[in-house]
Each structure stands twice: as C-alpha cells, then as structure tokens.
Structure 1
Amino acid sequence: MSAQAISAQEIPNDNRLTVSYRLLLGLYTIIPLCLSLQLFDGWFWHGFLQQNLPSSPKQFLLFQVIFGTPHIVASSILLASNTEYLKLYKLKIVLMTAAIIAVFGIGSLFIPYKVLYVTVAAWTVYHVLKQQLGVGRSLYRLPDWAFYLLLWLSVTAGLFVYIGIFLKNSLEPQQVEWIKLIAGSLCGGLVACALLCERYQTSTSGRYFLWANVLLVLSSFYLFVQQYYFFAILVPRLVHDATAYIFYVVHDYNKHRRQPRNFIYRSAALIHLPIFVVLPLASFALTFVLQSYGDEAVNALTRYLFDIEINKAVTLGVLGYLALMHYYTEAFTWKQGSPYRRFIGFSR
C-alpha cells in the first residue's frame, strides 16, 4: 500500500466492513510489549531471552509461516484470483517479471551479492514504512515536504538498522559502531521532524498515528543497539503484516459477501467457510507447504528428470520473486481510484 493510497473514504452503510483506525493503532501495542520484555529480561531473567532468541525471526520456521511470507502470498492470491485485476495490471506484471529476471537472475552473475542484498533491504524497509506512514497520512494531513521528510528519515534509519542486524556477521566492529552512530543520528533527526510536524496536527488520532510510526523506528533502533535482534525485527514486521491482512480481509469481505466472484470464494461457499478466514487460511496453508516441502519437492522432480538439484528453488526463487512482485504491485494496486479501493472504507 502506497503513501498516496490511504485517505478516508465513505462507503454506504449496507453492512460493509470498514478499516478501523483504532484497530490499526492498536497493533502498535507490540512496541511497549517488546520493550517491556527486553527490560524484564535484563532486570530479572539475566539475559535469557537475549541469549536464546535467534538473531532474526527468519530463523524460526514457525515465524516465517506466521509473519512475512503469508501476507506476501495473500497479496499474490488476491491479485491472481481476481481476473479483472490480473487483466488490468498484466502488462506491469510482465515487465516487472522481466526486470526481476534481468537484475536478480542474469545480473547476479556479475553484480556483487552485497549490492543486491542492500538493494532488496532498502526496498523492503521502504515498502514496510511507506505503508505504515501512508495509512495514517489522512489523519495527520502533513504537507508533502513534511511527509516525505518524515518518510525518508524513517526509511534511511530503518535501513541502517536492517543492515546492522542482517549483515552483522560480515561487518567489522568499527563498521557496526558507525552504523549505530548513523542510525542514531537519523533517529534524532526523525524526532526533530516529528516535533516540527506537530504544528500541523488538528486531531488526537493524527497525533497518535504520527508518534506511533516514529516509535516504530525508534524502538527498532533501541532494540538493535541492545542486541535484541529478534524483537527489533518483530516490531515492524508484526505491525506491517497485520495491517496488510486487515485491508485484505476487509476488501474480500466487501467484494464477495453477497456473491462470490472467484473460484476461491465459490469453493469456500460450498463448505460454508466464513469469508473472514478464507484468504488468511489459504495464504497460511500455502506458505506452510512451500516453506516446509517446496524445495524438496522441486529437488525430487529435478533429480528424477535431469539428475540435478536446484538449491532453494522455492524458498529463495519462488518466494523471493513473490516478495519483490509484492513490493512493486502494492505501490499502485491500493491507490485512490484503483479497483481495489472500491471495496475499502475507513472509520475512526
């Protein structure tokens, strides 16, 4: 979802669902929860969590099945299962697919790994924070220059935190210290920018959303410095993924509640499966299958047919492609005036 996509939109009161700003704001309670766990771990548990949690949530298969990948799969299902959406965006999808193959397929033969990694990291952080800042944009109503200053300070600080966590084993201690210093300075600039943006706030909800998004970055930086890497990634990941699912479920409920319009919801109607659980259930189930059995299934097939194995064909190839495509398509599919937005309304 892009920053330009989210603005309050009235929809008829005919039992349609709306996206509740209060519910979205409630997701940010993960911030004080993780900070409390970090403090209690230092005060009472002698660093047990710090020593035993993985350095990244991605090291937990269960985490990958719950966070990150499922909402990417859900986004792909939503786009691919509605033929009118697929036809409308077909050319963009084809061109982006060609670009991904060129850059990450052919380009990987001569582009250094770290360059590709930082590129994807920057795109990931930008996608996550642009969605969250965009959701609240209609509430804090900032001028364009202030909004984009807030956005880019957040993204740049978040990128340095991301690099500091995921590339820490390949960095020199001095490089890690420089990353902390740069990220900390950017966080200081972010706070100063937020204080400047206060002058434009006319509503309590706008002020809450503004500072919730600032704290999203600040808390991740603090947890990174304290070496609670799991929590540093969990905070933005949970808020982002849960926010996306709220939009997806509201969209699908409003679109399919009266008459199922694609094969997934027609099949669900036959077994009386509630609309609310169809997309989450399908995306979580497909994620589990792909993460747990996808690579081995492809290897079994390629061994049988060609006597070769393809390393991580599904977990890196297929899911990597879906992630990059997700970052790309979400930038325009939720914009004001898109067919997706016909089924989205907001309430405060």
Structure 2
Amino acid sequence: MVAQIISFPEQKSSNKLAVSFRFLLSLYAIVPLCLLLLWLDSFGFDHALREALPSSPSHFLLFQILFGTPHIIASNVLLVSHDEYLHAFKSKLIAMTLFIMVFFGIGSLFIPYRALYIITACWTVYHVLKQQHGIAKAVCRLPSWAFYLQLWLSVSAGIFIYMGIFLKNSLEPGQAALVLQVASVLTAGLLLSTLVCQRRVPSRFGLYFLWANTLLVASSWYVYSQQYYFLAILMPRLVHDITAYSFYVTHDVNRHGERPQNNLFRAATAIRLPIWLVLPLLSFVLTYLLQAYGDDLVNLLLQTLFSTQIYKAVTLGFLGYLALMHYYTEAFVWAAGSPLRRYIRFSGV
C-alpha cells in the first residue's frame, strides 16, 4: 500500500466493514511498549532479555512464521484467488515475473550477492515505510514537498538501520560505526523535519499520525543503537503487517461476506469458517508449512527424480519471489480505480 491509495472517494455504501484510522494508529503502541521493555531489561535485569533474544529476527523461526511472510502470502493469495484481479493485472504480473527471473535469477550469476541483498533490503524498507506514510497522508494532509521530505528521510534512515542489523556480522567495526553514524544523522534530520512539517498538519489526529511514523523510525534507531536488534525490527514489522491484514480482511468481508464469490470462500463457508479468518489462517498455515518443510520436500523430490538439490529453493527462492511480487503489486492494487479498492472504505477520522 502506498501514498496514492488512501483517498476517500469511491467508497461503496454496501461495504459493511471499514478500515479504521484509529485502529491503525493504535498499532503504534508497540513503540512505547518495546522502549519500556528495553529500559526494564537494561536497568532491572542487566540486559538478560537482550542476551536471550536472537541477534537477528531471521534466526527465529517463530518470528518468520508470525511476521513478514504471512502477509506476503496473504496478498498473493488474494490476487490469484480472484480471476477478475488476475485478468486486470495480468500484463503487469507477467512482466514483473520475467524481470525477477532475469535480474535476480540470471543476474545473480554476475551481480555480487551483497549487492542483490542491499537492493532487496532497500526495497523492503521502502515498501514498509511507504505504506505507513501513505496511510498517514490521508489524515496529515501535508503538501507534496513535506510528504516526500518525511518519506525519504524515514526510508533513508530505515535502510541504514536495516543494514546495520542484518549485515552486522559481515561489517568491520569501523564500517558498523559508520552505518550507525549515518543512521543517527538521518534520524536527527527526520525529527527536525517533523518539527517543521507539523505546522502544516490541520488536525490533532493528523499530528498524532505524523509523529507516530517519525517515532517508529526514531525508536527503531534507538533500540538498534542499544543492540536490541530483535525489537528494532519487531516494531515496524508488527505495525506494517497488521495494517496490511486490516485491508485484506476488510476486502474479504465486504466482497464475500454476504455471498462468497470464489471457490476459496465457498469452501470456507461450507465448513462454517468466518470470512474474516480465512486469509489470515490460510496464510499462517502456508507460512509454517513452507518454512518448516518446504526446502526438505523440494530437495527430496529433486534428489529422487534428478539426483540433485537446490539451496533453499522454497525459503529463499519461492518465498523471495512472492515477497518481490508483493512489494511490486501493493504499489497499485489498492490504488483508486483498482477492482480491489471498491471493497475498501475508511472510518475513524
């Protein structure tokens, strides 16, 4: 989801469920909770929690099952389970698939792994923060220059925080210190920018959203600087993922609540599974199965049939492809005029 998608026209009166801006704002409560946890651990428990947590969320299977991958799978399932959406975006989906195959597949033979990793990291951070700033734009009503100033300072700081966390084991001490310094300067710039831009926000509620996004990045920087890497990723990940699910669930309830319109939701109705639970439940189950068993199953088949194996064919290859497609499609599937957008309305402003 991006800035352009949040506008108030085109809302159907028949849409019973609404995406609540107040609910979305409440998700940022994870920020003070994580800060409180950090301070309690630092001053009361001699950093015991920091030592117990994995140094990177990617080292923790439960984190991967709960955050990141499920909403990526959910967005892809939402698209492919509706013939109307596949037909509407067919050319874009094919073009992006070919690009991923060429750039990340064939290109990996020539482009260094770290370069590909940094490109993907930048796209990930951009996707996460563009969604949050895009949603906030509807209530902050910032002029374009102020919106993009806030966005790019957030994204730039976020990229260095992300690299400082996920590349820390491959960075020299001087390089790690430089990454932290750059992140610190960009975060300070974001805070100063917010002080300037807040004068342009016409409502108190918009002001809350403006500062929520700024403090999300600033708190991630602070937690990262204190080496609580897990918490630094948890905060934006939780806010981003639950925000995304609020759109997916709202779409499904408004489209399929009264009369299921595809086989997935007809099957769910037949077993009396609530419409709002279908996509979240399916995406979490698929995430667990793919993360826990996907690579082993694929390699078992390849070893049996072709006497060969592929390194992380599912957890890196297939899920990586779904993630890149998710980053790409979310930039337009919820835009005004999109067939998905017809089933979304907003409340709580």
Fold in common (TM above 0.5): yes
Letter in 2 for 1:141: R
1:226-259 superposed Cα distances (whole Å, 9 cap, x missing partner): 0000000000000000000011000110000111
Letter in 1 for 2:134: G
Q: Does the CA-based 8 Å contact 2:55-2:229 persist in structure 1?
A: yes
The residue that corresponds to 2:280 in the other structure is 280
Q: Does the CA-based 8 Å contact 1:121-1:163 persist in structure 2?
A: yes
CA-based RMSD: 1.0
Shift of 1:8: 2.8
**Whole-angstrom CA distance in 1 between matches of 2:269 and 2:56:** 39
The residue that corresponds to 2:221 in the other structure is 221
Q: Does the CA-based 8 Å contact 2:164-2:179 persist in structure 1?
A: yes
2:126 aligned with 1:149: no
What are the within-5 Å matches in structure 2 for residues 100-179 of structure 1?
A: 100-179=100-179
1:63-108 superposed Cα distances (whole Å, 9 cap, x missing partner): 1111100000000000000110011111111111111011111100
The residue that corresponds to 1:243 in the other structure is 243
Question: Structure 1 9/18 Cα, relative in aligned 2: closer, same or farther at 3 Å?
Answer: farther
**Whole-angstrom CA distance in 2 between matches of 1:162 and 1:265:** 37
**Whole-angstrom CA distance in 2 between matches of 1:257 and 1:333:** 21
Q: Does the CA-based 8 Å contact 2:158-2:217 persist in structure 1?
A: yes
2:309 aligned with 1:329: no
Task: Mark the runs of 5 or more structure 2 residues left unpaired by the alignment.
Answer: none
The residue that corresponds to 1:86 in the other structure is 86
SS in 2 for 1:333: coil
Letter in 2 for 1:109: L
The residue that corresponds to 1:26 in the other structure is 26
Shift of 1:11: 3.6
Percent identity between the two aligned chains: 59
- Provide TM-score, normalisation by structure 2: 0.98
Question: Structure 1 68/116 Cα, relative in aligned 2: closer, same or farther at 3 Å?
Answer: same
- Provide TM-score, normalisation by structure 1: 0.98
The residue that corresponds to 2:62 in the other structure is 62
Q: Does the CA-based 8 Å contact 1:7-1:137 persist in structure 2?
A: no
The residue that corresponds to 1:297 in the other structure is 297
Question: Structure 1 10/331 Cα, relative in aligned 2: closer, same or farther at 3 Å?
Answer: closer
Shift of 1:337: 1.4
Q: Does the CA-based 8 Å contact 1:9-1:346 persist in structure 2?
A: no
Give the number of aligned pairs.
Answer: 348
What are the within-5 Å matches in structure 2 for residues 206-217 of structure 1?
A: 206-217=206-217
**Whole-angstrom CA distance in 1 between matches of 2:332 and 2:3:** 10
Question: Structure 1 80/228 Cα, relative in aligned 2: closer, same or farther at 3 Å?
Answer: same
The residue that corresponds to 2:204 in the other structure is 204
Shift of 1:55: 1.3
Shift of 1:136: 1.0
2:43 aligned with 1:43: yes
Q: Does the CA-based 8 Å contact 1:10-1:346 persist in structure 2?
A: no
The residue that corresponds to 2:97 in the other structure is 97
2:37 aligned with 1:8: no
**Whole-angstrom CA distance in 2 between matches of 1:11 and 1:109:** 47
After superposing on structure 2, the runs of 4+ consecutive aligned residues of structure 1 that deviate more than 6 Å are none
SS in 2 for 1:38: helix
Moved more, 72-81 or 179-188: 179-188
**Whole-angstrom CA distance in 1 between matches of 2:127 and 2:154:** 11
